[in-house]
Amino acid sequence: MQLNEDAKRLIELMFRLRNCLHRYRQQTDRGRTYVMLGSLREYEKHRGRPVTVSEIAHASGLALPNVSRLLTPLEQSGLVERVKCGRTVNVIVTKEGERRLKEYWDGFTTLIAEALEGIGQEEKDALLYAGAKIADHMERHTAKGASETANV
């Protein structure tokens, strides 16, 4: 029974942290832009290539015209570029997009560093170790579920 209670406490903590992240994005007045840029950057990092407009639509559940509509302001601001590659269109984060993403990331990193000042190094190490193990397990489980769903 303790395991279920611990799981509930962790879920509550995750939601609290998610809400803090959401409020931080709102305060910076750049929330959606940085979520989009960060997601594009993460995709490139994990896949080793730019994401396509079709992949964004598939992953988000949005129709292609809606994805295009969401990308247009980022493109007009010079933060992303759409590059046609045969029949596909890749979405690439520009140098300006990288700069703005780094600016946002540095601010968020500072906020987290300030929060970590309240605990000792041993607690930080334990938190980071445990958090990584939990994330690894959750990623494996959700990836397995996604591949099983795709095979149905």
Each residue's pLDDT tens digit, 49-70: 988 988 888 877 888 898 888 8
Q: Which residue has the higher pLDDT, 136 or 44?
A: 136
Indicate the CATH number for domain 31-118.
Answer: 1.10.10.10
Is pLDDT at 81 greater than 60 in this prediction? yes
Q: How many residues does the chain have?
A: 152
Domain boundaries, the chain: 31-118, 119-152
Q: Which residue has the higher pLDDT, 52 or 151?
A: 52
And the tokens for 120?
A: 């000792």
Is pLDDT at 149 greater than 70 in this prediction? no
**80 in helix, strand or coil?**
strand
Closest residue by Cα to residue 100 from 76, 69, 67, 78: 78
